[in-house]
Structure 1
Amino acid sequence: MTPAVPSRRHTIAADLRTQISTGNLKAGERLPSETQLATHYKVSTPTLRNALALLQAEGLIEKVHGKGNFIRPPLRRITYAGGGRTPFDPALQVIIRTTNLRARGHLRTLLKVSSNSPLTEFLCITHEGKSPHSLARIYVPRDLAAAVQLGPSPWPQAVDPISAEIRETVTARLPTPEEATTLRISSTLAVLAITSVATNTTGRVVEAALLVLPGDRADAVFTTHPTTEERKTKR
């Protein structure tokens, strides 16, 4: 069987990828304009943009509106360990914006509260230098907002993860338009969307966290410990 011939967009992406990996194109460097690149590779502008989109999805370049395409620095990776135990990386800066709102729709369901119950939202965006790195929205009942603190995780927590029951749902999906814009990522780059709901010892939901981690810089690691009964059974 004759091997498939790479498409022009893949050939162009491969050439630019090699230039990045060998250092011919350096981090922070602005690429020539899309028109110039299209002329250089003798392709149409749409084909050239498709090639750049492949590199954007890999996190190798980023498109800054009104400025052009830039080579991205090597991305610092986030290891999400589950249960809110992601270690804080001092190389990342965290911007937190607090908003008071009322429980409606999916928030009412997540937090198991009545409609219009007072909540506090913590919108957290981590940055590596000037580049957005991850996004989190944490919701807690208003009466617990004063207890929220920035601990060993880059996101605020309303409860000690050791003493709470935490249920997490991890989904790989494409970013919403708002997420892609906020994180300055390609709309074709998959993200890890983690919904974490913490319940205290009385059964009250004290926190619902919606985390968005771009797939080009995030790993999720989960460790399972056997219960005492399971250990006895194996003996």
Structure 2
Amino acid sequence: MSPDPSGLLGDLDPTSDRAVFRQIADQLRDAIDRGRFREGEKLPSEAELVEHYGVSRMTVRNSFSVLQGEGLVHAQHGKGVFVRPRPAVRRLASDRFARRHREQGRSAFLVEADAAGGHPQVDSLEIKEEKADQDVSTRLGSVRRVLARRRRYLLDGRPVELATSYLPLDIARGTPIAEPNPGPGGIYARLEDLGHRLDHFEEELRARMPSPTEVKALRLATGVPVIHLVRTAFDSAGRAVEVCDTVMAADAYVLSYRLPAT
């Protein structure tokens, strides 16, 4: 085994039953996790790793493929393999829908973006009346038709979230909620203007692999999962007034929750 080209890699274990390409991937992953290879930094080249480990190019390529499949690195043709940037948006579940933010004219996503120190943007928006699917109808109390607001959110120019809000037509039709810009504080502020003082939210979330459409819309690297979150907003009378179906790039978010112990 030749000297380490980066000074950061170890030796292979010839007694291990773990495949050599996976051992190499393990070492590179560990170096990335420890910050020895930083975001945007180039990994040692195929030739350097071949020389260091005394393996074939195919073995090194298989190692890179493992890391690409995990969303840790990306290849640039003719340049090499680089550590992928992994920006984090911290969602403060106990705070992001606080009334004080709406009163200040700030939507939940703006609150999140400010916390992350990033520049928020909505680069696509579709608003239309449509038939509610079974799940949305059930969550809204057997509502048949809804106003749907579909949008894509960017942070510092990177797509991080797809969200669709579904609101009962008897609440939303002909109101600022049906406009492209509903005004300061977003649709939750407008719901409260209409007399639907928000009481609480219920959220369900799960992690899954993205659909091809989601991969394209969020520009996801191979192997990066999504967080699928469905939120239902209830007013003080106990009525469900909105269902928000959100798909988030899992490598762009940290979900932070504060839960009472009693």
Aligned-partner residue type, residue 111 of structure 1: L
Of the candidates 133, 139, 152, which is equivalent to residue 110 of structure 1?
Answer: 139
Say how many residue pairs are matched: 215
Of the candidates 110, 119, 126, which is equivalent to residue 147 of structure 2?
Answer: 119
Residue in 2 aligned with 1:171? Answer: 206
Structure with the higher fraction of residues in helix conformation: 2
Q: TM-score, normalised by structure 2?
A: 0.61
Structure-to-structure mapping, 1:136-151, within 5 angstroms: 136-142=163-169, 143-144=171-172, 146-147=176-177, 148-149=182-183, 151=185
Structure-to-structure mapping, 1:124-203, within 5 angstroms: 124-128=152-156, 130-142=157-169, 143-144=171-172, 146-147=176-177, 148-149=182-183, 151=185, 157=188, 159=191, 163-186=198-221, 188-203=223-238
Aligned-partner residue type, residue 123 of structure 1: R
Stretches of structure 2 lacking an aligned partner (at least 5 in a row): 1-13, 98-107
Residue in 1 aligned with 2:8? Answer: none
Superposition deviation, residue 170 in structure 1: 1.7
Superposition deviation, residue 109 in structure 1: 2.5
For 1:179, what is the secondary structure of its paired residue?
helix
Structure 2 distance, partners of 1:156, 1:81, is 18
After superposition, give the CA deviation of every residue in 1:109-155 in whole Å (9 maximum; x if it has no partner): 3333443x141223232233x4322332222234426144564xxx8
Residue in 1 aligned with 2:101? Answer: none
Q: How high is the sequence identity, in percent, across the aligned residues?
A: 19
For 1:172, what is the secondary structure of its paired residue?
strand
Stretches of structure 1 lacking an aligned partner (at least 5 in a row): 231-235
After superposition, give the CA deviation of every residue in 1:158-205 in whole Å (9 maximum; x if it has no partner): 646983221111212222222222222245333322110012123332
Structure 2 distance, partners of 1:28, 1:5, is 31
Structure 2 distance, partners of 1:89, 1:146, is 24
Change (3 A) 1:195 1:171: same
